Each structure stands twice: as structure tokens, then as C-alpha cells.
Structure 1
Amino acid sequence: MSIDVIRPRDLTAAQVARWSELQRVDPAFDSPFLSPQWARTVERAQAESARGLQVAVVKQDGRDVGFMAARLGAYTALPAGAPMCDYQALVAEPGLSVDPHDLVHAFGVHRFDFSAMLESQAAFAPYARGRTVSRVVDMAGGWGAYEAERRAAGVGLIKDIEKKRRKVTKDLATPVFNAFSRSSGDFERMIGWKRDQLRATHQTDIFETPWTQRLLRELFDSRDPEFGGALFTLHIGDKLAAAHFHVHGRRTVHAWIIAHDPAFERYSPGMMLFLDVLRWMDGTPYSRLDLGCGDQRFKQELSNAVQGVTQGFVGVPSAADLVRRAAYGVVAAAEALPLGPASHLPAKALRRMDQWRGLRIAR
């Protein structure tokens, strides 16, 4: 076994096809974030500063058997597109055994940090320092079967949202849904709402970094049926009430940027739009809506499946490895103390630092 490291743009057509073929082998790999198109789109968005964006190509007996993209710094590596990348994995043949340290050595760094590694990646399990789940809506049986299953499970969210739909129809106008909208005005309005929300909640404005806006705009302009951005909108009367910008693969739509007009808050237009997206999926190639990580009520009630993911790092003996071990040690010590919400402050600080690193590294 050997590992070659090349830039995404240098992948041959045969390698791109092979990578996509391996994605189809395991349903867990059916995510746009694990595709060769994601790595290439991120590389273009980051432009000349993307020299550190590389793909590890695992070879066995002369065949390409595994692919993983990462953004390389001087000593550490992050997932390609972090913090905008919601999943990480070595997309490989079933049963392939690769020591993660070999990937770190091949990348030429001292440490690889991951934030949402597929839990099914057994090789990375010893290096996990935390676990969470991504909420998924499996629509393989269609809207009718899904709605019946949710009602049978005692979920009242769908009923509540439909009541609000009737209310807004009576009060104002019938909501109008549009899938794969090409309205640049609605797209820009959604970004503006999202930035306002991030500032109001004292979160990092990810759109201040130029490459993230370039990434979203290229995805919005994409016409590839198996990869790109998908803008879903909900209008009430002549006004945009909510917009979702999701990224899609061959079968999966991954919820990504979600925003709404605060003027329509009482009607929950964002949730109404989620239900419209799920209905729309009937008769399309898409059978899976990934809601991402988080314990929000709507994710818990809409989802009927989960995807486990882990956070952690793989390091080789080095200062970079020691620094990360110390950081996780502080997190573990704080979370073991009865400090209430303050126990989670070190973990939040570490996540905020990683977010800054991902945004800053490509400037």
C-alpha cells in the first residue's frame, strides 16, 4: 500500500470517477462533503491560497482504493473546506485498513484535526475525543410513509406547522414554494439575513472571509445534477419569507444555510419550508435530507435516523500533538466539574478557535 498526495485539480478523470464510484458503495459516503467535487470547488474558492489543499490517494496493487481531502498548514491539517465541511471520512473500499498516522505522514504535517468524522471510520475511533449525531430524514418510502411514521411516533411538529400554514394563508396569502431557485436576489437576501442572525447571537460571521462567499456563489451557480447548491425559497405574497441553501450530492440533500425574514417569525416559515422540501423530494433522485448535527427540537422531531460523528485528532510526536492533547485535557477537566454552563466554556473556546483557523488559513 502507498499514499500519493496531489492537488484536487490534478485528479485525473479516472480518479474522479473512481472516487465517485467508492461513494456509491457505502450509503454513509453519500454526502456532497465527501465528494471529489467538494474538494475541487473548495480549491477554486480559496484560489491561490489553496496551495495547501491536497488529496491523499491510497493505492493498493496499482489501484486507487481510497481518497481523503485536507487543508494543510505548516504543522497541522484540517478537513477540506473547514469550517464549512459537515462530514469527514476516508472514502475507501470496504474492509480497507489504513493507519491514520500514515495519512498524517503522507500529508507532511504533525497533526490532523477532525470535527465530524463518520463514526463508521473504525480506524479513527481511537483518536476520537467526543461524539455527537447528525440528524437525518430518510425519505426512501416517500412523503406519505414518512408523515405516517412521524405521526405514529407521536411527533406533533408537522401538525403544528400545517396549522401555521393555514393561519398565514388566512391572514396574508398562500405560501409559494420554489425548488432549485435561480433568483440571485433571494440568494443575496438569505445571506444578509444569516449575517444579521450571526451578529445578533454573537457568533462568528463566516461570510466575512472572502473564500466562503466565493464557495457559496460557485455552488449556487452549479448545474451539475450530482453536486452543487440548491436554493429553496418560500414566498408569502410578493415577499420572500424564508430561504434554505443546501448542498446536494447524488441522493442526499444536506441542510446548510437556513434563514428567514423576522417579520414572519410567528408563522415559522423556515420550518414550513423544510416540510415543502421533504414533500418535493417525492419523485426526485433525492431520498435523504441530512439536517446536520445539533439537538434542536425540529431536528429531533423531523429526523427518523441518525449518523454518528466524532471529533478528535491524529498526531505524531511533536509540539503540535502536545498542544492539542493539553487543550482536550482542559476540556475534559472542565466538563467533569459541577460548574453548570461554565463547564462547557473550554469546549466552546476550542471550537471557536478551530473555526477561526479554518476561515483564516485560506486568506
Structure 2
Amino acid sequence: MDIRVYRPGELTAADRAIWTAMQTQAHLQGAPQLANPFLSPEFALALGHCRRGVRIAVLREDGEAVGFFPFQRTRFGVGRAIGLGLSDAQGLVHRPGFQWDARELLRACGLAVWEFDHLVEGQKPFEVSARGAFGSPVIDVDRGYEAYLAQLRSRSPKFIRSTLAKERKLGREVGEVSYVHDERDPAVLRTLMGWKSAQYRRTGRSDRFAHPWIIRLLRQLFHTRGDSFAGMLSVLYAGGRPVAAHFGLRSERVLTCWFPAYDTDFAKYSPGLVLHLRMAEGAAAQGVDYLDLGRGEKQYKDSLKTRDLSVSEGWVMRRHPVALGHRARRAPVRALRNTVLSRPELFGPADRLLKRMGSVRAAGKNGKEK
């Protein structure tokens, strides 16, 4: 097997076409998880424009490309899944039945260690090094929106009645409700990022949009359009003004739910839930198989999902001092985080503490502005 590493801009059009074809045909080959847009060449190229150290390993047999492995690395040989902490699907895109030696791949890429937190299923050479597996909820719409709605009514009749009633109330009290599945106005994208930034601060989380490179990445993906990949901005309007919005990525068969947010002035109408139902309807009309809500336990995900995928986290290591040092630093942090997230008696107090801290920060900021 021949393994060669390229910068994103060095990848040939022919290799990109093969990579895309592997994703397009993945559902026919029993590996639908490889169709996720986070595993696409477009996402790797966009991230390469915004971050240093993005590389793509192309694996060939008899001169033919059989696998594509995007990753990020530091000059010390620490490797991370591309978009670690931001992407919801990671791994190696490959032809059916292909297997590889993980440590041989790391050696060819100049990596002592490769860390992942959303490894998709079916990556056996990497999965043996996983430290844990986690549910990633999805909304199946391959049988159509009405079939999905019927499933929700059967499982959670009170939830669906309440959500649809709030949508009607929003229309009566604010103005006609409308939905745009693929909004092309960049001003609305800026509005969404403002809402999301405020949500991060309000809940005590780290504000991703405080990082200019993430803003650049979303803007670039917003303008990336193609049959097999597109940045999708979906918006719920009431009375002609946006009340909820979402930006995610779409492949031919998967829509990733990435950055949802809403105007808190309309919180009593649950515009975020209404938006997700409209997104499911729009995705079904486009021929999408499912919406990937992403790893993480949230009440709204439990209410909307039809099932869970499984994603893994961990790291693959070679015998190298850098790898040992990286594991020593990262393992305690990940273990503590996962323990808190998996135990309600710990997560509840931690979540409330973060929100109180967010409120204090917001109050302090408002005081300074006055």
C-alpha cells in the first residue's frame, strides 16, 4: 500500500472525484455513515483555508486511490481528527471492505498520536483504540416527513401537539409563519451567529464565535455549493422577521444539525423545535435520509430523534514519547468531562453553575457598557 500526504490545495481533481464517489455510493455499500458531510473533501478544503496543519493522506493500491484520511497535525507530531471539537463525524473514507494498519498510517503521516472524539462506526483499525462510545441521535426521514411525524405522534403525542400549537400561536400573535430551507442572505447568517454567541455566554459555555477562524469557516462553507455538498442556512420567520435559524452541512443523504439558535424574545413559542420540524420536512423533500443531531444529551434531541448512531472517542498511538505525553495530558480531562455528562446527579449542578457564571459575566459586561 502506498500512502502519500498532501496539503488540501494539492489534492487533484481526480482524487476529489473519487473521494466524492465513495461518499455518494456509501449507502449502497453498507456504510452510510461515510456519507456524512463532515467527511467530505469540501469540509477538509474549507478547514484548510482557515487552519494550519490540515493534511490529507491518500491511500493507494496498485496506483488506485482506496482511502482518504483528513487530519490536522502540529510540528511535534500530535495529530487530531480534522475539526476536532467542531466536527460531528471523523474517520477514514474508503472503498468497501478496505482495511488498514492504523500505526502504519500514523507513521506515514508523521504522527505519534491521532486523537478523535466523533469517530464513525465501521473504522475497526481505529475503534480498537477507542476509550468510549456515545450515542449520536438522528432524525430519519427516508420514508418521508409524514411518516416521521406519525412516528412522533405515536411515541410522544403530547410533545408534537404542544409544538404544533405553539407554532400556530406564533402565527396568531407575531405574524405569518414561514420557513426557508436554504436561505441565501448572508445577513441572516450573521444574525444566527450573534444569537449563538449570546447563547454560549448566557449558558457559561466557551463562545466558539469568539474565534475569528470559525466565523471565516462558516462564511466559506455558506458559499460552498454543489450537488454532493452544500452549506445550508435554514430559517424560521414570523411576521417577516427571523425568529430561529440553523446552519449545517448537507451531503446527498445527510443533513448535519450543527449551529441552531433562536431569538430569545420568542422563547415561549419554542421556535427552535418548530424550526427542526420544518428542517425535517425540507430535508425529506430533498431526498435526504436523515438529519444528524450530533453527539450530546439534550432534551430537544431526545424529543425529536428516531434512533441513535454510535460515535467513539479516544486516540491511536505509536510507541513515541510525544504520544505518551499527549495521553497523560488529555486522558484525565476527557474522563472527567464524560463522567459529568453521563451522570445526571453531576451534570445538573455543573450545568446550573455554568449558567450562573454566564449570568454574572453578562451582568458585568452590561455594567461596563453603561
Name the TM-score, length of structure 1 as normaliser. 0.87
- Structure 2 counterpart of 1:91: 93
Query: Per-residue displacement from partner, 1:186-207 (whole Å, max 9, x unpaired)?
Result: 1111111111111122222212
Alignment correspondent of 1:12: 12
CA distance in 1, matches of 2:240, 2:64: 55
Equivalent-residue separation in structure 2 for 1:7 and 1:276 (angstroms): 39
1:156 is paired with a residue of what secondary structure?
helix
Which deviations, in whole Å up to 9, do the C-alpha atoms of 1:130-181 show, x marking residues without a partner?
1111111111110111111222234532222101112222222221111211
Is 1:67–2:68 an aligned residue pair?
yes
Displacement after TM superposition at 1:230 (Å): 0.8
Q: Is the 8 A contact 1:32 1:247 kept in 2?
A: yes
- C-alpha separation in 2, matches of 1:155 and 1:3: 53
Matches within 5 A, 1:173-212: 173-212=175-214
Equivalent residues of 1:112, 1:314 under 8 A apart: yes
Which residue in 1 is equivalent to 2:235? Answer: 233
Q: Provide closer, same or farther for how the CA distance between residues 185 and 38 of structure 1 changes in structure 2, counting only shifts above 3 A.
A: same
CA distance in 2, matches of 1:233, 1:244: 7
Q: RMSD between aligned alpha carbons?
A: 2.3
The 8 Å contact of residues 173 and 236 in structure 1, kept in 2 or not, is answered as: yes
Q: How does 1:119-198 map to 2 (within 5 A)?
A: 119-154=121-156, 156-198=158-200
Instruction: Determine if the alignment matches structure 1 residue 33 to structure 2 residue 38.
Output: yes
CA distance in 1, matches of 2:286, 2:128: 39
Q: Is the 8 A contact 1:129 1:328 kept in 2?
A: no
Structure-1 residue corresponding to 2:47: 42
Specify the code of the residue in structure 2 equivalent to 1:221.
H
Aligned to 2:366: none
Structure 1 residue 306: Cα displacement: 1.8
**Alignment partner of 1:264: what SS?**
helix
1:242–1:261: 8 Å Cα contact kept in structure 2? yes
Describe the shift of the 1:298–1:332 C-alpha distance in structure 2 as closer, same or farther (beyond 3 A): closer
Q: Show the counterpart of 1:361.
A: none
Counterpart position of 1:3? 3
Query: How many Å separate the matches in 2 of 1:106 and 1:269?
Result: 48
**Which residue does 2:57 correspond to in 1?**
56
Does structure 1 residue 328 correspond to structure 2 residue 312?
Answer: no
SS at match of 2:59: strand
Sequence identity (%): 32
Q: Who is 2:292 aligned against?
A: 290
Deviations 1:62-109 (A, max 9, x none): 211111100111220112223321110111122212111112111102
Secondary structure, aligned partner of 1:78: strand
Per-residue deviation, residues 283-318 of structure 1 (Å, max 9, x unmatched): 313232111111212212211122100000011122
Match of 2:362 in 1: none
Task: Return the alpha-carbon distance in structure 1 between the equivalents of residues 207 and 335 of structure 2.
Answer: 28
**TM-score (structure 2 length as normaliser):** 0.86
Contact 2:68–2:92 (CA under 8 A) maintained in structure 1: yes
Partners of 2:48 and 2:333 in 1: CA distance: 34
Aligned match of 1:358: none
Gaps of 5+ in 2: 351-370
Aligned residues: 340
Secondary structure of 1:87's aligned partner: coil
CA shift for structure 1 position 331? 5.7
Structure 1 pair 324/129, CA: closer, same or farther in 2 (3 Å)? farther
Secondary structure, in 3 states, of the residue corresponding to 1:160? helix
CA contact (8 A) 1:157 1:298 kept: no
Name the aligned partner's letter for residue 277 of structure 1. M
